[in-house]
Structure 1
Amino acid sequence: MIDDLEELVTCESFSSDLAAVARSAKVVAAMGARHLGAPPETIVVDGVTHLRWSFGTPRVLLLGHHDTVWPIGTLATHPWSVIDGVARGPGVFDMKAGLVQLFHALAGLGDLDGICVLVTGDEEVGSTTSRALIEECARGLSAAFVLEGSADGGALKTARKGTSDYTVTVYGKAAHAGLEPWNGANAGIELAHQILTIAGMAALADSTDSPGTGGTTVTPTVLAGGTTLNTVPALARVGVDVRVPTLAAQSRVDTLMRALSPQVRGTRLEVNGGPNRPPMEAAMSAELFRLAQGLAAGLGLGALEQASVGGASDGNFTAGIGVATLDGLGAVGGGAHADHEHVIVAEMPGRAALLRALVASVLAP
Structure 2
Amino acid sequence: MTTASFDPKAILDGIRRWVEIETPTEAPRQVNKLADLVADGYRDLPANMERIAGRDGCGDHLVARSSWGRDKPGILVLSHLDTVHPLGFIERLPFKVEGDSAFGPGIYDMKGGAYLAYHAFRQLCAMPARTPLGVTQLYVSDEEIGSPTSRALIEAEGRKAKYVLVTEPARDGGKIVTGRKGVARFEIFINGVPAHAGTRPGDGRSAIRELGNIIQTLEAMNDPKRGVTVNVGVVRGGTKPNVIPEEAYAAVDMRVPTLMDADELVPKILDLKSRTEGVSIRVGGELNRPPYEKSNAGAALYEHAKTLAAEIGFDLVDTRSGGGSDGNFTAPYTATLDGLGVDGQGAHTHYEQMYISSIEPRARLLYRLYQTLR
What is the one-letter code of the residue matched to 1:75? I
Q: State the alpha-carbon separation in 1 of the partners of residues 181 and 75 from structure 2.
A: 23
Partners of 2:176 and 2:316 within 8 A in 1: yes
Q: 280, 290, 293: which one pairs with 2:292?
A: 280
Report the count of equivalent residues. Answer: 352
Corresponding position of 2:173: 153
Structural RMSD (CA) = 1.6
Residue 161 of structure 1: how far off its partner (Å): 0.6
Partners of 2:47 and 2:65 within 8 A in 1: no
Q: State the alpha-carbon separation in 2 of the partners of residues 143 and 75 from structure 1.
A: 35
Corresponding position of 2:136: 116
Secondary structure of 1:63's counterpart equals strand
Q: Could you state the TM-score of these two structures normalised by the residue count of structure 1?
A: 0.93
Residue 37 of structure 1: how far off its partner (Å): 4.4
What is the one-letter code of the residue matched to 1:17? A
Question: Which region of structure 1 is more displaced relative to structure 2, 282-291 or 307-316?
Answer: 282-291
**Equivalences for residues 152-231 of structure 1 within 5 A:** 152-203=172-223, 215-231=227-243
Partners of 1:48 and 1:129 within 8 A in 2: no
Residue 149 of structure 1: how far off its partner (Å): 0.5
Corresponding position of 1:295: 308
Q: Could you state the TM-score of these two structures normalised by the residue count of structure 2?
A: 0.90
Secondary structure of 2:195's counterpart equals coil
Residue 152 of structure 1: how far off its partner (Å): 0.9
Corresponding position of 2:34: 24
What is the one-letter code of the residue matched to 1:354? L
Corresponding position of 1:42: 51
> Cα deviations across residues 156-189 of structure 1 (Å, max 9, x unaligned)?
0111111000011111111111111111111111
Q: State the alpha-carbon separation in 1 of the partners of residues 311 and 334 from structure 2.
A: 26
Q: Does 1:4 align with 2:14?
A: yes
What is the one-letter code of the residue matched to 1:264? T
Corresponding position of 1:75: 90
Residue 53 of structure 1: how far off its partner (Å): 0.8
Secondary structure of 1:116's counterpart equals strand
Residue 327 of structure 1: how far off its partner (Å): 0.3
What is the one-letter code of the residue matched to 1:160? R
What is the one-letter code of the residue matched to 2:244? V
Partners of 2:271 and 2:283 within 8 A in 1: no
Q: State the alpha-carbon separation in 2 of the partners of residues 92 and 32 from structure 1.
A: 21
Secondary structure of 1:340's counterpart equals coil
What is the one-letter code of the residue matched to 2:301? L
Secondary structure of 2:285's counterpart equals strand
Q: State the alpha-carbon separation in 2 of the partners of residues 2 and 264 from structure 1.
A: 59
Question: Which region of structure 1 is more displaced relative to structure 2, 159-168 or 101-110?
Answer: 101-110
Secondary structure of 2:41's counterpart equals helix
Corresponding position of 2:146: 126
Secondary structure of 1:40's counterpart equals strand
Q: Does 1:314 align with 2:326?
A: yes
Corresponding position of 2:362: 351
Partners of 1:166 and 1:241 within 8 A in 2: yes
Residue 100 of structure 1: how far off its partner (Å): 1.6
What is the one-letter code of the residue matched to 2:33? R
Q: State the alpha-carbon separation in 1 of the partners of residues 219 and 275 from structure 2.
A: 16
What percentage of aligned pairs have identical amino acids? 38
What is the one-letter code of the residue matched to 2:336? T
